[in-house]
Structure 1
Amino acid sequence: MNASRIALVTGANQGLGRALAEGLAARLGPDDLVLLTGRDPERVTDAATEVARLPSTRARVEGRVLDVTDTDAIGRLADDLKARYGGVDIVLSNAVARVLPEDSQAERADEFIDVSNTATHAILRSFGAVLRPRGRLLVVASSLGTLGHLDPRLHHLFDGASLDQVEYAVESWRSAIHNRTAAEAGWPVWLNVPSKVAQVAAVRAVADERREQDLATGTLVASVCPGMVDTATSRPWFSDYSGAQSPAEAARAVLDLVFTEDVDPGLYGELIRFGKPLPWHDGTPPVEQDRLVRP
């Protein structure tokens, strides 16, 4: 990587995002910069100050306000980093909308899709364009993002799709929810499954276009599954937390991937869990009555 590196984490005020920012700040050097982002100015400032003061922190840490549902803001930040620093070296797309089990999935659909999917598409486009050689662009997803978790009637929307086609599929899903035709088309009630599949499909689409050049320059674009993590977002969905990792523990495998010197072609563009790719076509559609998250 470059002598002076620029790293950015979205959704970094708390939980896994905060742990990723802390890990980057500890493993990067004094000339490097970690940008901790979130949408609430006060929480961003407080989190960045706290991370900067940790005894383990070596890199510079700055807070940046970024509402990932504002795709223009994503583009402006990418352009700013390009103008100031010549680009960015590490982008960890981690933001997620918190949904509780008692919430109506349909009523929360727009917010959930905007944060998890529309934002992912914008990050892949905007930050992919300013990612420097030997860079890392990783989207935090989950093992639910493999294609087999969707009804087979929907597979053609994502399998081998371009980023434009993934976007179209996501907006078709959103429209079906609003029109109350989602169930008959095969979309599950639970938002997390199609959202994660779409995230992984978007990464695969971008990686397919960039693969040859990125592998030649030691650059990695991929999605990652951190496994079961004990956070405020995920805790309400689990009945048994005995196997859950702390955010710091879950961040470790993601950061190991960031700091691996050489890019494994077998991991490029894939959904990676604990250093290994998950087969794209694996998985089975969830039973709607079982609303517990499975990592």
Structure 2
Amino acid sequence: MTSRIALVTGATQGLGAALAAGLAQRMAPTDTVYLTGRDAARVGAVVRSLPAFSARVRGEVLDVSDPESVTRLATELTGRHGGVDIVFNNAVMRVGPDDDPKSIIKEYVEVNNFGTTRVLRAFAPLLRDGGRLIVVASSLGTLKFLAPALHDHFDDLPSLDAVDAATAAWRDQVVDGRARAGAWPGFVNIPSKIAQVAAVRALALERRRQDVERGILLASVCPGMMNTPTSALWWDVSAAPTPEQAAGPLLSLALDPVEPGHYGELIRDGAVLPWRPAG
């Protein structure tokens, strides 16, 4: 049996670390989980802090905001293993209530959105039969949270290039103030998450037939509210699940048999969240 290879981006803390640990617990001793982040020292420290699991955990530097970093690791994993079986795109730049959207939006989009499409472009072609590529997004990533006049901005985009162009157009409107004066929500997380889900939908449109034949799952996922320091800046999360608890349904999505209706969709706790508002 071929050893399975898993990759988690943004895995040096919170949900990413929980996903990497959960995969390592549930996968076989012959399997490898790549725990990645952009800081080599932090990656190494997290790997060393983990208890002995069933699968091997290997740390790698990966900065999704750097195209060369993404291409390098994809090339290296191809050389080492010939492909990958599970990819969680979890890397994220977090923002707080006091952050000025105009001052952070360029870096924010570079990590959260263009980082997502870089990972999709680089690692989707490496998926082996039965593979899973899962983008960690949010229930905010649906058109329900966008003004109807803006739905066409992200709806039914035909390619990742089109998603990148739409995302860049929104970013530029934030930078020059047009977004604030218009219908765009002030919370930049909403359009960003919608763009992430739109990216998954666009790639799924291109790959659906071959992926379904090969048992591959491409999806976005909402982990729900979590008790993390960043979330606590915005909401009362004292009763929310820990990252380890929130990781459970995501791990099931990655390791359990594929549910055909999940392909290309945004999933929360095993259920599909509608992309468009009802009615």
Smaller-chain TM-score bracket: over 0.9
**Between the two proteins, what is the percent identity of the paired residues?**
52
Partner of 1:75: 71
Partner of 2:83: 87
Partner of 2:169: 172
1:99 alignment partner, one of 95, 98, 110: 95
Partner of 1:293: none
- Secondary structure, counterpart of 1:107 in structure 2: helix
- Secondary structure, counterpart of 2:58 in structure 1: strand
Q: Does 1:275 align with 2:261?
A: no
Partner of 2:11: 12
Q: Does 1:187 align with 2:184?
A: yes
2:228–2:237 Cα contact (<8 Å) kept: no
What is the total number of aligned residue pairs between the two structures? 277
- Once residues 166 and 152 of structure 1 are traced to their aligned partners in structure 2, the CA distance between those partners, rounded to angstroms, is 18
Gaps of 5+ in 1: 284-295
Partner of 1:110: 106
1:157–1:165 Cα contact (<8 Å) kept: no
What RMSD in Å do the two structures reach over aligned CA positions? 1.3
Tell me which amino acid in the other structure corresponds to 1:273.
Answer: R
Q: Give the alignment of 1:117-128 within 5 angstroms.
A: 117-128=113-124
- Secondary structure, counterpart of 1:89 in structure 2: strand
- Secondary structure, counterpart of 1:91 in structure 2: strand
CA 1:241–1:110 in 2, change beyond 3 Å: closer, same or farther?
same
Measured against aligned partners, the alpha-carbon deviations of 1:135-178 in whole angstroms (never above 9, x if no partner) come to 00000000000112111122112111022111101000111112
Partner of 1:248: 244
- Secondary structure, counterpart of 1:90 in structure 2: strand
2:4–2:31 Cα contact (<8 Å) kept: yes
Q: Give the alignment of 1:1-295 within 5 angstroms.
A: 3-51=2-50, 54-55=51-52, 57-162=53-158, 163-242=160-239, 244-261=240-257, 263-282=258-277
Segment of structure 1 superposing worse, 248-257 or 209-218: 209-218
Measured against aligned partners, the alpha-carbon deviations of 1:23-76 in whole angstroms (never above 9, x if no partner) come to 00000111100000011111100101222xx15x11011110111110221112
- Once residues 76 and 215 of structure 2 are traced to their aligned partners in structure 1, the CA distance between those partners, rounded to angstroms, is 24
Measured against aligned partners, the alpha-carbon deviations of 1:85-111 in whole angstroms (never above 9, x if no partner) come to 101111000011121111112211112
Tell me which amino acid in the other structure corresponds to 2:130.
Answer: R
2:225–2:237 Cα contact (<8 Å) kept: no
Deviation at 1:208?
A: 1.2
After TM superposition, the score normalised by the length of structure 1 is 0.91
- Once residues 118 and 107 of structure 2 are traced to their aligned partners in structure 1, the CA distance between those partners, rounded to angstroms, is 15
Deviation at 1:241?
A: 2.7
- Secondary structure, counterpart of 2:230 in structure 1: coil
Q: Which has the higher helix share?
A: 2
Segment of structure 1 superposing worse, 66-75 or 16-25: 66-75
1:157–1:166 Cα contact (<8 Å) kept: no
1:16–1:231 Cα contact (<8 Å) kept: no
- Once residues 70 and 42 of structure 1 are traced to their aligned partners in structure 2, the CA distance between those partners, rounded to angstroms, is 18
- Secondary structure, counterpart of 1:129 in structure 2: helix
- Once residues 104 and 238 of structure 2 are traced to their aligned partners in structure 1, the CA distance between those partners, rounded to angstroms, is 25
- Secondary structure, counterpart of 2:91 in structure 1: coil
Tell me which amino acid in the other structure corresponds to 2:59.
Answer: G
- Secondary structure, counterpart of 2:215 in structure 1: coil
Tell me which amino acid in the other structure corresponds to 1:189.
Answer: G
- Once residues 48 and 69 of structure 1 are traced to their aligned partners in structure 2, the CA distance between those partners, rounded to angstroms, is 22
- Once residues 97 and 156 of structure 1 are traced to their aligned partners in structure 2, the CA distance between those partners, rounded to angstroms, is 26
After TM superposition, the score normalised by the length of structure 2 is 0.96
Tell me which amino acid in the other structure corresponds to 1:89.
Answer: D
